[in-house]
Amino acid sequence: MADQKQSGFGLWVNQHIMPPIMKFVNTKAITALQNGMVYSLPFIIIGSIFLILGNIPIKSVADAINASGWGAIFAQANNTTFQMMGLWAAIGIAYVYVKNENYEPLAPGLTSAAAFLMLQNLSIDNPLKAALTSGLTDGSMTGKVVTENIDKLPHALQSFLESPVTGVINTKWLGGDGMIAAIIVGLLVGWIYTMIMKAGWTIKMPAQVPPAVSNQFTAMIPSGVILTGSMLIYAAFNAFAHTDFLNWIYNTLQIPLQGISDSFGGAIAIGFLVPFFWFFGVHGGLIMGSLVAPMLQANTADNARLFAEGKLTIAQGAHVVTNEFYNNFINLTGSGITIGLIIFTLVAAKSVQLKSIGKLELVPGIFNINEPFLFGLPIVMNPMLAVPFFLTPLVVAASTYLVIKTGIVPPLNGVAAPWTTPAVISGFLIGGWKMAIWQACTLLISTAIYWPFARKYDKVLLAKEMKEAKQEANK
Task: Determine, yes or no, domain membership for 267.
Answer: no
Task: Examine the domain organization and report whether 254 and 336 are in the same domain.
Answer: no
Task: Determine, yes or no, domain membership for 138.
Answer: no
pLDDT tier at 280, thresholds 50, 70, 90: confident
Task: Examine the domain organization and report whether 326 and 382 are in the same domain.
Answer: yes
How many Cα neighbours within 13 Å face the side chain of 328? 33
Task: Examine the domain organization and report whether 184 and 43 are in the same domain.
Answer: yes
Domain-terminating residue out of 240, 262, 284: 262
Cα–Cα distance for residue pair 468/195, rounded to 1 Å? 62
Task: Determine, yes or no, domain membership for 141.
Answer: no
Domain-terminating residue out of 236, 262, 288: 262
Cα–Cα distance for residue pair 364/419, rounded to 1 Å? 12
Task: Examine the domain organization and report whether 306 and 348 are in the same domain.
Answer: yes
Q: What is the pTM of this model?
A: 0.82
Task: Determine, yes or no, domain membership for 155.
Answer: no
Alpha helices for 406-424 (secondary structure H): none
Residue 211's alpha-carbon distances to 133, 218, 235, in angstroms, are 56, 10, 35
Q: Is 422 exposed, middle or buried (0-12, 13-18, 19+ CB in 10 A)?
A: middle
Domain-terminating residue out of 262, 285, 312: 262
DSSP state of 207: T
- Check residue 138 and give its pLDDT: 45
- Check residue 159 and give its pLDDT: 66
pLDDT tier at 129, thresholds 50, 70, 90: low
Task: Examine the domain organization and report whether 81 and 106 are in the same domain.
Answer: yes
Q: Degrees (nearest 5) of the Cα angle 345, 349, 353?
A: 80
State the CB neighbour count (10 A cutoff) for residue 315: 7
Asked whether residue 132 carries a pLDDT value surpassing 60, the answer given is: no
Task: Determine, yes or no, domain membership for 150.
Answer: no
Number of independent structural domains in the chain: 2
Q: Which residues contact 110 (CB under 8 A, 6 or more apart)?
A: 91
Task: Examine the domain organization and report whether 92 and 239 are in the same domain.
Answer: yes
Cα–Cα distance for residue pair 104/283, rounded to 1 Å? 30
Task: Examine the domain organization and report whether 35 and 176 are in the same domain.
Answer: yes
Domain that holds residue 384: 273-474
Q: Degrees (nearest 5) of the Cα angle 313, 314, 317?
A: 95
Task: Examine the domain organization and report whether 21 and 55 are in the same domain.
Answer: yes
Cis ω on the peptide bond leading into residue 19 (within 30° of 0)?
Answer: no
Are the C-beta atoms of residues 329 and 439 closer than 8 Å to each other? Answer: yes
Comparing 205 with 91, the larger pLDDT belongs to 91
CA 221, 224, 230, 233 dihedral sign is negative
Task: Examine the domain organization and report whether 394 and 254 are in the same domain.
Answer: no
Give the mean pLDDT of the chain.
87
Residue 62's alpha-carbon distances to 48, 57, 416, in angstroms, are 16, 7, 20
Task: Examine the domain organization and report whether 249 and 315 are in the same domain.
Answer: no
Are the C-beta atoms of residues 392 and 399 closer than 8 Å to each other? Answer: no
pLDDT tier at 402, thresholds 50, 70, 90: very high
For the ranges 4-8, 208-212, 263-267, 287-291, which has the lowest average pLDDT? 4-8
Cα–Cα distance for residue pair 461/401, rounded to 1 Å? 37
Task: Examine the domain organization and report whether 327 and 252 are in the same domain.
Answer: no
Q: Rounded to an integer, what is the distance from CA 368 to the centroid of its chain?
A: 17
**What pLDDT, in 10s, does the model give residues 338-364?**
999 999 999 999 999 999 999 988 999
Specify the DSSP element, H or E, that contains 123: strand 123-124
Asked whether residue 404 carries a pLDDT value surpassing 60, the answer given is: yes
**What pLDDT, in 10s, does the model give residues 419-462?**
889 999 999 999 999 999 999 999 999 999 999 999 999 999 99
Mean per-residue pLDDT, 374-385: 89
The residue among 213, 427, 440, 216 whose CA lies nearest residue 343 is 440
Taking the chain, what is the end-to-end CA distance rounded to the nearest angstrom? 31
pLDDT tier at 168, thresholds 50, 70, 90: confident
Question: Quick one: CA torsion of 179, 183, 184, 190, rounded to 10 degrees?
Answer: 150
Are the C-beta atoms of residues 19 and 400 closer than 8 Å to each other? Answer: no
Task: Determine, yes or no, domain membership for 208.
Answer: yes
Most confident of 66-70, 145-149, 188-192, 383-387: 188-192
- Check residue 202 and give its pLDDT: 85
Cα–Cα distance for residue pair 373/365, rounded to 1 Å? 9
Strands of 129-282 (E only): list them.
165-166
* Local structure of 184: helix, strand or coil: helix
The residue among 277, 281, 393 whose CA lies nearest residue 338 is 393
How many Cα neighbours within 13 Å face the side chain of 305? 22
Cα–Cα distance for residue pair 166/446, rounded to 1 Å? 54
Which residues make beta-bridge pairs with 123?
A: 166
Q: Degrees (nearest 5) of the Cα angle 166, 172, 174?
A: 100
Task: Examine the domain organization and report whether 425 and 333 are in the same domain.
Answer: yes
Cα–Cα distance for residue pair 473/467, rounded to 1 Å? 10
- Check residue 2 and give its pLDDT: 40
Task: Determine, yes or no, domain membership for 103.
Answer: yes
**What pLDDT, in 10s, does the model give residues 204-247?**
877 777 777 777 888 899 999 999 999 999 999 999 999 999 99
The residue among 462, 445, 384, 339 whose CA lies nearest residue 347 is 339
Mean per-residue pLDDT, 197-204: 89
Mean per-residue pLDDT, 252-270: 93
- Check residue 1 and give its pLDDT: 37
**What pLDDT, in 10s, does the model give residues 16-43?**
777 887 788 788 998 999 899 889 989 9
The residue among 194, 312, 321, 192 whose CA lies nearest residue 266 is 321
Are the C-beta atoms of residues 86 and 172 closer than 8 Å to each other? Answer: no
pLDDT tier at 126, thresholds 50, 70, 90: low
State the CB neighbour count (10 A cutoff) for residue 27: 10
Comparing 19 with 132, the larger pLDDT belongs to 19
Task: Determine, yes or no, domain membership for 134.
Answer: no
Q: Which residues contact 264 (CB under 8 A, 6 or more apart)?
A: 398, 401, 402, 405
pLDDT tier at 282, thresholds 50, 70, 90: confident
Cα–Cα distance for residue pair 369/361, rounded to 1 Å? 8
